Amino acid sequence: ELEDVREHDRRVTEEAEIAQRDLHQALTESQKNASLLTEYHELYDLQRKRLEKQINLIASEKELWRGAAHTIALKVIVEHKLATSKRLSLAEQTWYTLASHFSIYLMDKDTIELTDVHKSANAWREIVETFDREQGQREFETTKNLARLIKSIETLRIAFRQDHFDLEGKLSQIPDPRKAIDYLNEIKRWEDSCTHEIEKFGGDTVLINEERMKKADRQLKKWIDMTERLLSRHPSTNSGDNTEQQALRDLFENISILHSQYRIRMTGENGLAQTVIFFSNVLESWSSKFNTYAYTGGKISEGEWLAFYSQMDEWLEGINKAVAFVGKSTKDSSDELDEQKKGNAVKNM
């Protein structure tokens, strides 16, 4: 066992020596490479400095030759009394000075107006983003409210059928005044939901949003005026219209369409307001009938009860259509596909 241990120690020692030699060799190679890299770097610096000196020398020689040529030309003009050449030389200097002055002036003015264009565009974007965010929130709340309304109507419809119809689907029991009060309370809750939605299409909400859209219109007009004035100072060298001008015209046209779409959604002219108002008027009529029947001894015929039950299907269909109208940005449904494509293009813009 001792001999095995000695043999193992010997092998380990040899391996350690080999590893040490390899490490020493690797360090030597690394030092050589580092030295070589340093020499290359120094050589590069020397070459760069030499090239910079040559470039500066060439530039100074160019200026020297230009000045000498100009001086000789002036002496030739004076010597030979070349009045026309002298006038041309003076005119060239004058035009160069004027061109430099107006170029600097135009550049400064363009910079100022470009800054104003950016400010106007950013102001318009902030207005539209705020309106879009708030309109989206209102439409989200409308969708939730209509969904609750649909569920409530479906629940009442099922309960009405179970309580007042037999297995053959015939009206077997006319609701008593106590039951009519329950239905009346449910209808009033529906009316409150409709009133809440109708208020979004009128009053202070619409006035605030309309003022916001007018502010966006003013920013857009300011934006258009400044860009047209800016581009008019840089006409295209081609015979046709400038591509930038055409792109801006397309942009402003799309923005105008976007404003119109926002106004349609804001006022509910996409069919949502009309549907909700119609449903609210129908509910008001039934609320009056149920109130008279429950509290003043009025009468509701069997045919009217059947009409009430059958109309709930129509209400569900109408409210489902209203849900589809939410977020729609067109008035006429006949051109809905084309308008939807245009709306998507404007939204992408």
User: If DSSP states are collapsed to H, E and C, what string results for 312-339?
Assistant: HHHHHHHHHHHHHHCCCCCCCHHHHHHH
Q: Which helix (H) or strand (E) holds 1?
A: none
Model confidence at 242, pLDDT cuts 50, 70, 90, reads low
Q: What's the CA gap between 132 and 329, in Å, rounded?
A: 12
| Residue 9 shares a structural domain with residue 155 | no
Higher pLDDT, 341 or 138: 138
Neighbours of 128 (CB within 10 A): 19
Give the tokens for residue 50: 């030499």
Whether residue 167 lies inside any domain: the answer is yes
| pLDDT band at residue 345 using 50, 70 and 90 as cut-offs | very low
How far is CA 111 from each of CA 105, 106, 118, 274, rounded to the nearest angstrom?
10, 8, 11, 50
As for how many domains the chain has, the answer is 2
For residues 227 and 125, membership in a common domain is answered with yes
| Any domain includes 99 | no
201 in Cβ contact with 95 (< 8 Å): no
235, part of any domain: yes
Cβ contacts of residue 86 below 8 Å, gap of 6+?
77, 78
pLDDT of res. 15: 84
Q: Does one domain contain both 28 and 118?
A: no
The residue segments making up the domain with residue 27 are 1-81
- Which pair of tokens denotes residue 63? 């200026």
Each residue's pLDDT tens digit, 96-135: 777 777 778 888 888 888 888 888 889 999 999 998 999 8
Residues 59 and 141 grouped into a single domain = no
Pair 3, 68 in one domain: yes
Same structural domain for residues 325 and 220?
A: yes
- For residues 57 and 187, membership in a common domain is answered with no
CB–CB of 127/212 below 8 Å?
Answer: yes
**What whole-number distance in Å separates Cα of residue 221 and Cα of residue 316?**
44
Total-model pTM: 0.62
Q: What is the CATH number of the domain that holds 280?
A: 1.20.120
Domain edge (last residue) among 42, 62, 81: 81
Residues 147 and 7 grouped into a single domain: no
Q: Are residues 8 and 45 in the same domain?
A: yes
Backbone angles phi, psi at 165, to 5 degrees: -120, 145
Tell me what pLDDT residue 337 has. Answer: 45
Distance CA 234, CA 216 (A): 27
Are 156 and 44 within one domain?
no
Is 92 part of a structural domain of the chain? no
What confidence score (pLDDT) does residue 347 get? 53
Residues 6+ apart with CB under 8 A from 178: 294
Residue 276 · residue 198 · CB < 8 Å: yes
pLDDT of 58 higher than 60: yes
pLDDT tens by residue, 25-48: 888 888 887 888 888 888 888 888
